[in-house]
Amino acid sequence: MAITWNDPIKTYFTDYDIDHMKQVQPQIDLGNYVSVKDNAVLIYPRLADGSMPPGGWDAEWINNFKAWIEAGYPES
């Protein structure tokens, strides 16, 4: 199944993640497709090294996020 923003990438970000990121980095809206797409190469290393979000993502989610970038950020 193709990995898209609507399924499943968008669902990976919690309301807490979205709110906290806006406090730390106002330009990045983790609930917004364009904002995540434009900042994905910036976000990915933080996911991969476990420094974001609190608690970290499991390997499957991290791999999916990278695959989404490499696929050209499909929205749906």
**Residue 32 in the binding site for other proteins (CB under 8 A):** yes
Residue closest to 8 by CA, chosen among 55, 57, 68, 51: 68
**Residue 42 in the binding site for other proteins (CB under 8 A):** yes
What are 13's two structure tokens? 């970000």
Among 1, 24, 58, 76, binds other proteins (CB under 8 A): 24
> What kind and span of H or E run contains 35?
helix 33-48
**Residue 15 in the binding site for other proteins (CB under 8 A):** no
- Shortest distance (Å) from residue 24 CB to other proteins: 5
- Shortest distance (Å) from residue 75 CB to other proteins: 14
Determine the Cα angle at 34 with ends 28 and 37, to 5°.
80
